[in-house]
Structure 1
Amino acid sequence: MKYAIHTLNKAFDNRVRLGVMAVLMTTDSVSFNDLKEALDLTDGNLASHVSALEKAGYVTVTKQFVGKKPNTTYTASAEGKQAFQEHLNALEKLLKGG
């Protein structure tokens, strides 16, 4: 029998990564600055955690220039949305005593 605790996704163990995915699940895409402000993070802290989620295939990063300013946006990938939903389902099951 597989217990709910074993089905939690380690990619979302960190509160920052959990926060990033929570924000991305509620919007199509979000800019670096908006995500940084929403989660009250430093540039480096956000960049390192988003990089880990990107490496896992859960987040897509788009970099472009708007005028002369760099603009980075993030989107949850289909795989990321599915993995996060499974993580939330496992948390729910765990809370219900599963």
Structure 2
Amino acid sequence: MPGLNEVIHQAHRLQICAMLAAVEALEFSVVRDALGISDSVLSKQMKVLQAAGYATVKKVPTNSRTHTWLALTPVGREALADHLTELRRIAALAEPVTT
């Protein structure tokens, strides 16, 4: 049994991973605004996910601006799936036992 993933389990990182799992990639500002956190907090959390090999950050120049895109790697998607499986197992322990 893999157990909880300590990298993903932190609240902001779990939310970031959940948002990114539903899409191919999201723009940095979309994730930041959805979570209501600062640029620096999101950057710090993404660095942790990147160091684990769970996420990528891609800067794309567009006209006069640079857009930053965040995405989960295949390894990150698998780690999130395993983490969610463990959370579901734990949650099931709280269900009433029927006899």
When normalised by structure 1's length, the TM-score is 0.89
Q: Higher RCO, 1 or 2 (CA under 8 Å, sep at least 6)?
A: 1
TM-score with structure 2 setting the length: 0.88
Percentage of pairs with the same residue? 26
Q: Deviations over 1:46-70 (max 9, x none)?
A: 0000111011100011112111211
Q: 1:91 aligns with which of 87, 90, 93?
A: 87
Pairing partner for 1:68 from 64, 70, 81:
64
Structure with greater Cα Rg: 2
Give the number of equivalent residue pairs. Answer: 93
Could you list the per-position Cα deviations for residues 1-52 of structure 1 after superposition, in whole angstroms to 9, with x for gaps in the alignment? Answer: x5xxx71000112111011001001111100111111111100000000111
Q: Provide the alpha-carbon RMSD of the alignment.
A: 1.2
Q: Does the alignment pair 1:54 with 2:21?
A: no
Structure 1 unmatched runs, 5+? none
Distance 1:13 1:29 in 2: 21
